[in-house]
Copies of this chain bind each other. A is one copy, B any other.
Amino acid sequence: MVGNPMFWLVPAASVVALTFAWFFFSQMMKADEGTDKMKKIATYVREGASAYLRQQYKVVIIVFVVITIIFSILAYGLGIQNPWVPFAFITGGAFSGLAGFFGMKAATFASSRVANACRHSLNAGLRLAFRSGAVMGLVVVGLVLLDISIWFVVLNYFIPEMDGGYQLMTITAIMLTFGMGASTQALFARVGGGIYTKAADVGADLVGKVEANIPEDDPRNPATIADNVGDNVGDVAGMGADLFESFAASILASALLGAAAFIKSPLQTNAVIAPMIIAAAGTILSILGIFLVRTKEGATQKQLLKSLGFGVNISALLIVIASFFILKYLGLPLGIWGSIIVGLVAGIGIGQSTEYFTASAYKPTRKIAESSATGAATVIISGLGIGLVSAAAPLAIIVVAIALAFGFATNFDFSMSELNFGLYGIGIAAVGMLSTLGITLATDAYGPIADNAGGNAQMSGLEPEVRKRTDALDALGNTTAATGKGFAIGSAALTALALLASYFEEIRMMFVKILDQPEKLINGVKAIDAEFIDFVKHYEIHLMNPLVIVGVFIGVMAVFLFSGMTMNAVGRAAQKMVDEVRRQFRTIPGIMEGTGEPDYARCVEISTKGAQREMLAPSLIALFIPIVVGVIFGVPGIAGLLLGTISSGFALAIFMANAGGAWDNAKKYVEEGHVGGAGSDAHKATIIGDTVGDPLKDTAGPSLNILIKLMVMASVVTVGVAVSYHIF
């Protein structure tokens, strides 16, 4: 029924991942939660985070209802969309929402427990934090594989057999819509979470640290709970939704590209399930890797890091070996194996370039730190300069990766006849890069958990030794996070390109089918006329076409507009927080002496409402630009739009992430006693740099990751509109 029994590995891996996620979760829940004060603070944060998620999901549900209605009109009213699309869209959103919910639950339950574990030893803290992060990693990959499995089985049952391999084309095209649901959910998670966390952070810092001169995470600061909630909703839930979407989209796009490339071949089914099976194998190997992260009691920080790296690297190495045998068993060309390796190596390479440009061990960040001797202006100038330059390395890596992933899959034949195989290679490279997401996401989610544990320790007034240990864990997390970020952004670019290729494939396939049976309804598209056939024949998505050029400019415009709007949103939301914190300092008696209790809930509410209000406008832009461009400028406009968005969005995202990371670490470097040391004018200059970097690296930058995927997704899903109703 599903073509190849090996497919059942996919649901099996899903069940295993979810089982282990449950296992790690209940293990973590058994750990001691610490003192009453610790419990109380953890409860505040947990309740704030839950309240935020509830509020966010309410807004998202409304958006989903609206979009589902639109999709239903397109499908049932106008007949220019497949009738399954609305359902696939909804499940994608629902599963992504579930993954964020579970991940955040785990993280918020873990923080006080990790803080308590750190009272005993660094090692106990590491293990608990890492295993709690693993819950997130495994829930994400498990739910993606589950949803894919269910839909693949269901659609194989319902979609009738067709001539010439069109059954699998249709199935994979519908399944891709699942990714659209995940993208939409992820956009709101990233944008809303990003605005929330930075409004709270900037607000807490500006009034607490700068004006009132109290330390970070001080319980007297009314915004401190909101700040800790922000880490969870931004870094944990946002990051999870982001990678859920990348993981799903890379697999689904590759499946469609595989169906297209092998359309007349008996290997078609195998090409479709290959990305699913590689992802399933990677998931199993990630769990193995997670178990390999063990350290002896009393291990040094270097050993801890090595231990983490060991788990990740073993998983990566094993998936390289495993995928060779998977491809061999499936009878697929072994050149594709090269594409998988290219994807993995590119992810590592981007991670290393991120580390080079943002870690204080290297020249760029040190230069920023040194420029603090001449004040904040030079800190900002050098950070902007280095951030801009730093975008070049990942761009170069992606360029090489595209060329090689395509080349390996086609024996380096770049002619049109090999195009489909090459595009499949690009998709598979994205799958390869993300195959071990189970463990890489665990090392990523562990960072904010450690950070929150530190917050809990500080607010609960635990002995300074504990805070030191959580800081050490946090620092460790920063190093692994560099690699994690590399995978997130690298996979976003490759996935977006695979999706772009899917877009072209959908159109190309329509064309092929139209020529076969010009009168038939295909994928619901009715309004096919001679002009359209002529268009596809001549590939009028060429660069001399002014509609393509116009599209590219609009794509770049969308990126700048979107990130500017998210930046401004943070500014406005932070301003409200500043006003509230100042008000509380002014009006609550005894607040500075620690005798009056600050109104934490009010700050949580302000961040929540601010994030909800502010996330709508930029998100709607992302959703509707592709439709508007499609209606006005047709397919050539969309083609240009997507390429413009992907390329400039990728570059701007890296610029923002790296500039922000470098400013953060330059500040820490000065705090370690360099240039002027903590408290000096140089230090104050780097604090300004760090504050500027916050919305760049945690709001606008990560949101661009989603934007570039969502805009392609939205175009793919509404391809019928652009084809049938374009003005030009």
Contacts and interface: CB of A to CB of B under 8 A. Distances in A.
A572 B644 CA distance: 33
A68 interface: no
Contacts of A389: 560-561, 564-565, 568
A692 B561 CA distance: 21
A374 interface: yes
Contacts of A381: 202, 567, 570-571, 691-692, 695
A571 B651 contact: no
A560 B655 contact: yes
A557 interface: yes
A380 interface: yes
A547 interface: yes
Nearest to A371: B571
- Give the interface centre of A501, A553, A555 by most chain B CB atoms within 10 Å: A553
A547 B392 contact: no
A286 B382 CA distance: 42
A69 interface: no
Contacts of A423: 544, 546
A403 B692 CA distance: 38
Contact of A543 (B392, B504, B550): B504
Contacts of A256: none
A380 B541 CA distance: 40
A626 interface: no
Contacts of A155: none
Contacts of A468: none
Interface in A373-397: 374-378, 380-382, 384-392, 395-396
A375 to B, nearest CB: 7
Nearest to A578: B374
A546 B402 contact: yes
A445 to B, nearest CB: 27
Contacts of A571: 371, 378, 381-382, 385
Contacts of A692: 377, 380-381, 384
A543 B543 contact: yes
A284 B120 CA distance: 86
Contacts of A648: 556, 644, 647-648, 651
A546 B422 contact: yes
A639 B543 contact: yes
B539 A544 contact: yes
A341 interface: no
Contacts of A542: 539, 541-543
Interface string A525-558: 0000000000000111111111111101111110
Contacts of A575: 371, 374, 378
- Give the interface centre of A387, A422, A549, A640 by most chain B CB atoms within 10 Å: A549
19 contacts: A378-B691, A381-B570, A381-B692, A384-B564, A385-B565, A392-B557, A392-B561, A406-B546, A423-B546, A500-B549, A504-B543, A541-B542, A543-B548, A543-B639, A549-B643, A552-B647, A556-B647, A556-B651, A557-B651
Interface of A: 202, 206, 210, 371, 374-378, 380-382, 384-392, 395-396, 398-399, 402-403, 406, 412, 414, 416, 419, 422-423, 426, 497, 500-501, 504, 538-550, 552-557, 559-561, 563-565, 567-568, 570-571, 574-575, 578, 639-640, 643-644, 647-648, 650-651, 655, 687-688, 691-692, 695-696, 728
